[in-house]
Structure 1
Amino acid sequence: MHRPLRFLPLATALLAALAGPAHAGQPLRLSTELAPATRPFSAPAPLAQALRHKMQAPLVRELQIRLRHAKYLAQYDAHERFDGRTREALRKFQKDQELPVTGVLDQGSWNALRAVSHEPTAAELTNTDVGPWFVNPGQLGYVLELQHRLRQTGHYTGALDGALSPATRTAIAAFRTSVGLPASSVMDERTWARLLPRSRSPRYAQLFNAPPESDETQILDPRCEQGKVVCISRAQKKMSLVVDGRILFTRAARFARPGWESPEGAYRIWYMNRDTISTIFGERTPMPYAIFYDGNVAIHFSDDFDQIGYEGGSHGCSQLRDYQVAHWLYEQVKVGDKVVVY
């Protein structure tokens, strides 16, 4: 059985994020890094005092960041309050490490956590930067959407060409400083969350002149031959949009890793959200253009699928590796349309 994904619309989930001071009057210093360099794991260090629920101390901030590194706490904003969410994350970590499950940070738990986490950066400690791109900028569809949104905010005046040009990078940095974030050319999740409510989602036709071309063929299940159906074949690792037996497009797809398979069968789309973030597995995983068809199991774009292919896998969802294709498919279907998984 699979565990259902908990999700939040990105635009509302992060608006309360703490922002660092704006760099007003300073020249823009653009970072060309796509992700922060890997830092060494931490050696054990003495813990001045045990930390427990409802305490408030600067070290709680570091505890939260380290729990996030270890994929037990799916939040980017650290604070000094040892709240219930922090305690629950620590309890899960202690259980997996075969430590006493107390929810109290003692020396043994601190040593174990430091061994699987990194020294927090100043940017992490002050909640001013969260690192990697929201979607890899190698995705043409994503960069086109980014340029379109930055144009709406008045920060970009260049061509809508999908190129991560100097003008695009400058626009990103200018937008970041306008919302109180450090100047950087990285459009991380925190920055993307601030861009969404300040711009409208562009339609596919505003970014592309034609539908995406098929690059695969798929043998259809008979249930896919009537009406509009998203037809998903796990055995063939493919996904097609079919209307009355006519295939409109077919693309490669990725599914659950072993032990997380969701059931096969015929379903109906019950919910759609283009800005979904999964948080159940201890980290924040973007699920752009999510189309939910079986509880919280969805079709969506996966940056991980794009980056590492079939070496990874989902926790039950059906994934596409092309942001443009996910955008197009999202606009072709509606709640109530059929999805067949076989």
Structure 2
Amino acid sequence: MRTAVLRSSIAVTGVLALVAGCKAQAVEGGRAAPPLTSQPSASDSSRLPTDASSRPPTDNASRSPSDDAEPTGSATPSPAAPKILFSPGDSSKDVRELQARLRQVAWLFNGPTGTYDDTTTDAVKGFQGKRGLPRTGRTDTVTWQRLLNMTHEPGKWELYQFGGQPPAKPDPRCMKGRVLCISKTSRTLAWMVDGKRLMTTEVRFGSEYTPTREGVFPVYFKSRHHVSTLYDSPMPYAMFFSGGQAVHYSEDFAAHGYAGASHGCVNVKDEEKIAKLFAQVRNGDKVVVYW
């Protein structure tokens, strides 16, 4: 009788120990532990159910694909794609800087224009391919950082050597009447009537040795097909305002941007705009040249 009681006590103690052991495995740091997804080792066989029908299958042919899947949340996430900063079709000062930097490393030879056009897209693709980056033609954070590391911050001349700089605030002398308002600081000409800006175009001026005069002048002579007698060079759409100095179209400016200079005249690079301007400006209209 005593022996039977002892055996019964031992059996109960074993069951309680087994139950206590299951509870300890199921909790980690106060949180429910994820379920086991792989077959336990032989040393853990005491934790398996004793019923053979409820044991995990050991035959690989009978295992489902989910049996070999990693626990939820344990897979290493793929790295995020770099953020796109500029794309074809964009137009901004940042795109102008991108183009200026691409010129520094000889991937772009036109502009900057500030517009992400096909030429810029091809230049970005070439730059990316040379450095083993995906040739997307779009400027992402990785491409931009590589370009920054290889170039210096472009100055105003590099950014606006082909024009595009916003016009300066009009000089007070430009606010009344019909005025060709010309800023040397922004290198722009604004056609203004009674303080309203009707047209803006990029211009360049004379060199250090042949500077464009500053001040207030009248347009005193217009010549559509003028040729300089002093330099034997064409001056189409010339509007003279101070001696031999005139506002006129410059084919050299259109081709080379601010890399050159005039002999004192105000050069305009946009032929379509100066043609319209020439048709509107009258003799006697005011010209204001200022910094």
Question: Fold match, TM over 0.5?
Answer: no
Q: TM-score, normalised by structure 1?
A: 0.36
Structure with the greater alpha carbon radius of gyration: 2
Q: TM-score, normalised by structure 2?
A: 0.42
The structure carrying a bigger helix percent of its residues is 2
